[in-house]
Amino acid sequence: MPTIAVDGMGGDFAPRAIVEGVGQALDGSLPWISRILLVGDETALSAELERIGMARDARIEVVHADQVIEMGESPATAVRSKRRSSINVAVDLVKQGRAEAVVSAGHTGAAVSSTVLKLRTLPGVERPAIATLMPSPHGHFLVLDVGSNVECKPLHLLQYAIMGDVYERVIRGKSNPRIGLISVGGETGKGNDLTKEAFKLLQNTPQINFVGNIEGHDLFTGAVDVVLCDGFTGNVILKTCEGLAKAIGSILKQSLKKTPVRMLGALLSQGAFRELKELCDYAESGGAPLLGVNGVCIIGHGSSCPRAVRNAIRVAGEFVHHQVSQHIVNRIQELKGAAPATPAP
C-alpha cells in the first residue's frame, strides 16, 4: 500500500489537472494506493482540493513547497538553486522514507536531475534511462532511453537492455522479451562507434534475448519488444512520432470532410477511430518510468490531463508493488556472477 509523492505544480495544466488526477487515483479504482503527498503551493493546492470536494480527505496531505522550476530553466542549476521547488521537495519525501515513489509532469530534466542527485542510481547502474511505451499494430513496445542521457557509452546501452528486459518481464509479463538496437542498418557492423561496440556487448550477453540491429522502419512491425538507443536518438524518435500522429490525424480529418460519402463512412467508422485514439493516447500509459534510480520516479507528459496523472500514479504503484528496482539489481548482479545486492534505503 504505497504512499506516492506527487508534484502538484508540474505540468502545463498544474495545479488543477494534477489535483483532479489525484482525486481520480483515490476514487476506489486503484485500491493499492493508500496515501498521496501532494507537493506545492499550499494555498493553491488546498483551493483545488476544496473545489473537487477532497479538502478533508485523510488520504491526501499537502506538503508546502514555495518554488517551481519553470520549463525554460537549466535543470541542473535550478535543482541546486531552488531547493524548495515542488520537485525537489517531492523527491526529498522519497529519500526520507515518507513516500515510496514520486510522480511529476513538470520539467523532465529537473525531475531526472533531482532524482539522480538525491536518490542516486541502483548498484551496478551507471546512468538511468527514461523508458516509454509506444503503440504499434501489434500492441506496444518499449523504447529507452528517450531523453535522460543524450550521450551514452556502450555499457550504458547494455544496462538499458537489462532494465528493459526486467520491465517487460515484471510489468508486462513477457517471458523472453526481444531486444533490438536502433541503428542505420540491420546488418552486423552497421552504425556508429557507439552502436558497433554496444552490439558486441549485447551479443555476448546470453541472458538477454538480443535479436540484433533494427532500423527506424522496423519499429512498428512487432519485430522487437524493447528498443535501445541513446537519449538524443530516443527523444527525436518520440517527438517525431508524436508530431506525425497529430499530422496524420489532422490530414485524415480534413480528407473525411470533403464529401458526404466520406463523412458517412467516418460516422460508421467511429468505433475504429476510437480504438485507434485509445491505443495512441499517452494518457492511457500515464507516465514514463526513470529506470535505474534508487527509488521509483514516474515522469508524466507536460500536457498531462487528469486521466494521465491518475494513470501515472497507477504506474508508480505498480512499480512499488512489483519491486522493479530490486529486480533490476538482482539481474545485474546475476550477470556479474555475484550474490544479489539490496538497494540502499
- pLDDT of 135 higher than 90: no
- Residue 136 within any structural domain of the chain: no
- Residue 109 within any structural domain of the chain: yes
Q: What is the structure's pLDDT at 293?
A: 96
- Residue 41 within any structural domain of the chain: yes
- Residue 184 within any structural domain of the chain: no
Which long-range contacts does 160-164 make (Cβ < 8 Å, 24+ apart)?
160/129, 160/228, 160/291, 161/202, 161/205, 161/208, 161/210, 161/226, 161/228, 162/208, 162/328, 162/331, 162/332, 162/335, 163/125, 163/129, 163/131, 163/291, 163/292, 163/328, 164/131, 164/226, 164/228, 164/291
Amino acid making up residue 52 = I
- Residue 342 within any structural domain of the chain: yes
Q: Tell me the CATH number at 45.
A: 3.40.718.10
- pLDDT of 101 higher than 80: yes
pLDDT tier, 258 (very low <50, low <70, confident <90, very high otherwise): confident
- pLDDT of 114 higher than 90: yes
- pLDDT of 273 higher than 70: no
Q: pLDDT for 191-234, tens place per residue?
A: 889 999 999 999 999 889 999 999 998 998 989 999 999 999 99
**Poorest-pLDDT segment among 49-58, 161-170, 328-337:** 328-337
Q: What is the structure's pLDDT at 93?
A: 97
If one counts the domains in the chain, the total is: 1
What is the residue whose three cell numbers read 466520406?
A: 262
Question: For 258-275, what is the mean pLDDT?
Answer: 77
Question: For 179-200, what is the mean pLDDT?
Answer: 89
Q: What is the structure's pLDDT at 67?
A: 92
- Residue 310 within any structural domain of the chain: yes
- State the chain's mean pLDDT as an integer: 89
C-beta atoms surrounding 154 within 10 Å: 17
- Residue 340 within any structural domain of the chain: yes
pLDDT tier, 32 (very low <50, low <70, confident <90, very high otherwise): confident
**Poorest-pLDDT segment among 102-106, 136-140, 142-146, 212-216:** 136-140
Measured distance CA(207)–CA(221) in Å, rounded: 24
- Residue 22 within any structural domain of the chain: yes
Q: Decide which of 129 and 343 is more confident.
A: 129
pLDDT tier, 339 (very low <50, low <70, confident <90, very high otherwise): very low
Residue 322 belongs to domain spanning:
1-125+292-345
Cα atoms in the 13 Å half-sphere on the side-chain side of 141: 21
Q: What is the structure's pLDDT at 340?
A: 42
